[in-house]
Structure 1
Amino acid sequence: MSGGAILIADDHPLFRQALRMAVERVAPGAAIVEAGTLPAAAAAAGDQATPLALILLDLNMPGAVGYSGIALLHAECPDVPILVVSSADAGVAAEEARAFGAVGFLHKGSGLDAIEDAIGRALRGIAPPAPASAMPGDVDAIRHAVAGLTPTQLKVLLAVLDGQLNKQIAHQLGISEATVKSHMTAIMRKLDVRNRTQAALVARSLGLDLRH
């Protein structure tokens, strides 16, 4: 196991406790950080004083829409494996989770042994085999483009999906409107679209505004 803390990001205290028990069995003595919202998880991921070895992430938590939590945390710490543990339909979510940067997907109904095994494998850097993509090549390329956005660019894109204007986004993120426009220009370039409406449509088509 590599050194570092393990982040458990889930808004259900009882499930966080269950995951904590699994982590303690697999990695006794490892530091554990808990977060009940996506902003709290992102803050923990960006905390240079507490480097992470693994992130256990639920998709459906306050502040997250669709797969945005994976994309945001992957952008914050691209070298840290993200293992999704969610009640979402694995038949759909598993491939999407990997496309946005997760190393694996587990359904919350999995047994404790399966969860512990997946945590151990992720800590050892062993990723489960990824299923063959059933998506067209251009869609798959766009998914990876979204996964390649910076944390701030992802926050701007999610705010656009929420219908916010540049002034509102600037206030929410504590940046200037000019900086918001600069980020939007970079987002549109990376997604190969011409305006913010098209950028929102691309993100929506990839499930970034779907609740899981």
Structure 2
Amino acid sequence: MIADDHPLFRQAMAMAVTHVCPDCRVIEASTLDVATKMAGATSDLILILLDLKMPGATGFSGVALIHAERPSVPILVVSSADAEIAAQEARRFGAVGFIGKDQPLEAIEAAISAALAGERPAAPITIEAEPVDDMAEKVASLTPTQLRVLLGVLDGRLNKQIAFDLNVTEATVKAHMTAVLGKLGVQNRTQAALAARALGIGMQH
């Protein structure tokens, strides 16, 4: 699956995938919501090429949401974000690798080939990546719905507003929020929002 809001770049990525894997079927998504639904509904999905900056995404929320939806499917982030910052962060939330959109087609194809082979594509930076920290692991352990509730909190929405957005009851949102607080090991919504922002969930890329 290629998830990017630019049709021309999706076309270029589809050509790269077809060159590496001629028998692969390519599906495309232009928004995070569509990408998340397609990830959950496509049983034979073997790789996700994901842009960080697309409609519905803030920071690394796209990586976290899709990884929660399909934790066994490798996610390769292909983005124009600063690689020195974004590559490590993307891995913290479940991506197997990161490659900049400014890289030559050969490099992108090599990264796709490595991801399909179950390998981690070479990092685009020379410094050693720091180990995944405890809070990042906790955020990565949230379910897709729990992540959506947390994103609603980050947007300053009330429980009843989040319930309307997700088409669930307010009581369900409260239950999910309780689970989020427990998983993150925090006491209230403010602390949960601060923890998520500290990890880049609320950052724009």
Same fold (TM over 0.5): yes
Q: Which amino acid aligns with 2:157?
A: Q
The structure 2 residue matched to 1:188, chosen from 168, 173, 181, is: 181
Deviation string, structure 1 residues 49-86 (Cα, Å, up to 9, x no partner) = x4210000000000001000000000000000000000
The structure 2 residue matched to 1:21, chosen from 12, 15, 36, is: 15
Q: Which residue of 2 aligns with 1:86?
A: 79
Deviation string, structure 1 residues 19-51 (Cα, Å, up to 9, x no partner) = 011011011131111000000000100104x42
5 Å-filtered alignment, 1:1-212, equals: 7-48=1-42, 50-128=43-121, 132-134=128-130, 140-212=133-205
How far is 1:183 from its partner? 0.5
Whole-Å separation in 1 of the counterparts to 2:26 and 2:18: 9
Q: Secondary structure at the match of 2:52?
A: coil
Task: Supply the RMSD in Å over aligned alpha carbons.
Answer: 1.4
How far is 1:129 from its partner? 5.6
How far is 1:133 from its partner? 4.0
Whole-Å separation in 2 of the counterparts to 1:128 and 1:30: 19
Whole-Å separation in 1 of the counterparts to 2:122 and 2:181: 32
How far is 1:128 from its partner? 3.1
How far is 1:14 from its partner? 0.7
Whole-Å separation in 2 of the counterparts to 1:158 and 1:197: 12
Q: Which amino acid aligns with 2:143?
A: T
Q: Secondary structure at the match of 1:53?
A: coil
Q: Which amino acid aligns with 1:128?
A: P
How far is 1:205 from its partner? 1.0
Whole-Å separation in 1 of the counterparts to 2:196 and 2:112: 30
Structure 1 gaps of 5+ residues are: 1-6
Q: Secondary structure at the match of 1:32?
A: coil
Whole-Å separation in 1 of the counterparts to 2:87 and 2:200: 13
Identity rate of aligned residues, in percent?
A: 61
Runs of 4+ in structure 1 over 2 Å off: 128-135
How far is 1:157 from its partner? 0.3
Deviation string, structure 1 residues 61-120 (Cα, Å, up to 9, x no partner) = 000010000000000000000000000111011110001000000000000000011101
TM-score where L is the length of structure 2: 0.95
Q: Secondary structure at the match of 1:52?
A: coil
TM-score where L is the length of structure 1: 0.92
